[in-house]
Structure 1
């Protein structure tokens, strides 16, 4: 288990991490989502033992992870951090980049393990190429293969999907899922913690999902819990499309008014249905998303809701009715 307890870190007078506590279980994937500047990368550096914390500590299986001020070489032998920039050796092949992580092992095992990783990460066909001769997705997979070569206890990933096109995002996402899941039956399963500013991929593979804001971990739970019951409007927006409006507008949706008219509530687009005889509105915008359409329906000058549909007979300016179930309304913290 990787455990962080009340971690804090500031750069001068600027706080970067504020009293963050989290627990990463063996063989599990945790994702942390937050806007740029929310402290995600600093937190990874602290967890990896590459940056000194101002207070709090990090422990792996009960043993404290020491910072660079306490050791000759910064970092922990059982924790690997994959940076956004990949940090591959530019003048050696993909295969040799991976093999370098196993340089202290016997050649027979090293060759076997590298072949295994090339297959797992779909790099066999490009193993002889230099990093500059492969795609961004192949560079990312090479960096991951090198990081997991000697089977670390914890893999930390800084924005693993940020530079990738959609096909490569899906490949890397599936790789991470398979990599962690295939080792859960072994004696030393690998855990994975990734940080990202886009929750789309994190929601699909993570066992737990945290929301970072201004150096604080403001919410942590299962992806379903965080998506369906966000703590704040920020958490709601960081985990996907959402309608955030004041409770005083609920009667306009034919829903019971709350005691506090200024209370914020959220509705996910999929929780709003087109319904003849429902509350009347006009389609202000229509976006084709491949498997469905995303609509913006204007109910008044102050209320415009986003919803999803598979109907193909709609157009901008068309009058439609919508319906919202009272159970779909979720109140947000201030």
Structure 2
């Protein structure tokens, strides 16, 4: 288990990471989501023992992980950080890249383990190619296979999906979950893409300005975001002030300036419901995202699979009061 306690990193007067605490458990994936500059990469570097923390500490199975100023070679033998640039050796094959991580093991085990990893990471057919001869998804899988070759306790991934096209993203997401379970590794990934985090993680945290502003299961964070920032970082959302609730046919709250959120999938088409006008349609393949104007001040985004809708059409929508969640400022 990896445990971070109140990690803080300052760059001048600016706190890139401020008081972050978390725990990673074997066989589980934790995801941290945040905008650019929220401190994701700096946090990973401290967890890997590659950057000194100004305050706080990192412990692996109860023992403190030293920072780079305390050791000759920065890093920890049981913690692997995989950068989004892959950092593969360009002039040797995929197989040799993975084998290099096992260079201190006996030949028989080394060959067995590399064959196992090639199969697990679906790289057998490209094992003799150079990194420049394989796809982005295959490069990412090679980097992961190399990182877990000697069975580290902790796997840290920096934006692992950022360079992948949609088919490779889907393949890699499934593969990552399988690998973590198969190897019983504790995995932390940071990303700015919520769909990747929601679909792979057992737990999800929201980072803002170096602070962990919300943490819980993906379902909890998505359905009950604490702030408008957390709501927006976890997917499409309608955010409106409480004073506009009467437009939705609902009673208001004590503070008319309070912020409320409503997910698009919680709004249903209903001919007997509130009347609104379709202002925009966005085809998403499996469904449409629809902007519906209910008044001069209220325009909501909703989802539908209907193909008979068009811009300018008058439609009815229904919103359940319990679907609306009050946010913190």
Paired with 1:130 and 1:301, the residues of 2 have a C-alpha distance of 58
CA RMSD of aligned residues (A): 0.7
Q: Deviations along 1:186-242, whole A, 9 cap, x unmatched? A: xxx211000000110110110000000000000000000000000000000000000
**TM-score normalised to the size of structure 1?**
0.97
Partner of 1:249: 244
Q: Which runs of 5+ in 2 are unaligned?
A: none
One of 230, 249, 256 as aligned partner of 2:225: 230
1:207 is the counterpart of 2:202: yes
Aligned to 1:186: none
2:312 maps to which residue? 317
User: Does 2:4 match 1:9?
Assistant: no
CA distance in 1, matches of 2:141, 2:24: 23
Q: How do 1:136-285 and structure 2 match up within 5 A? A: 136-183=136-183, 189-285=184-280
- Give secondary structure in 2 for the equivalent of 1:51: coil
Q: How far 1:302 sits from its partner (Å)?
A: 1.4
Aligned length: 329
User: Which residue of structure 2 aligns with residue 68 of structure 1?
Assistant: 68
Q: Does 1:328 align with 2:313?
A: no
Shift of 1:68: 0.3
1:269-308 equivalence runs, <5 A: 269-308=264-303
Match in the other structure for 1:103: 103
Instruction: Give deviations 1:288-312, integer Å, cap 9, x for gaps.
Output: 1111111000112211100001111
Distance 2:314 2:276 in 1: 6
SS of the residue aligned with 1:69?
Answer: helix
Residue aligned with 1:20, SS:
strand
Q: SS of the residue aligned with 2:147? A: helix
Question: Take 1:152 and 1:17, find their aligned partners in 2: how far apart are those partners?
Answer: 25
Shift of 1:111: 0.5
* Superposed CA offset, 1:280-330 (max 9, x none): 110000111111111000112211100001111100000011110011010
Distance in 1 between the 2:296 and 2:91 partners? 60
Q: 1:128-173: per-residue Cα shift (whole Å, max 9, x none)?
A: 1111111111111100000000111000000000010001101111
Give the TM-score taking structure 2 as reference length. 0.99
Cα shift at 1:182? 2.0
- Aligned-partner SS, 1:252: helix
Q: Which runs of 5+ in 1 are unaligned?
A: 184-188
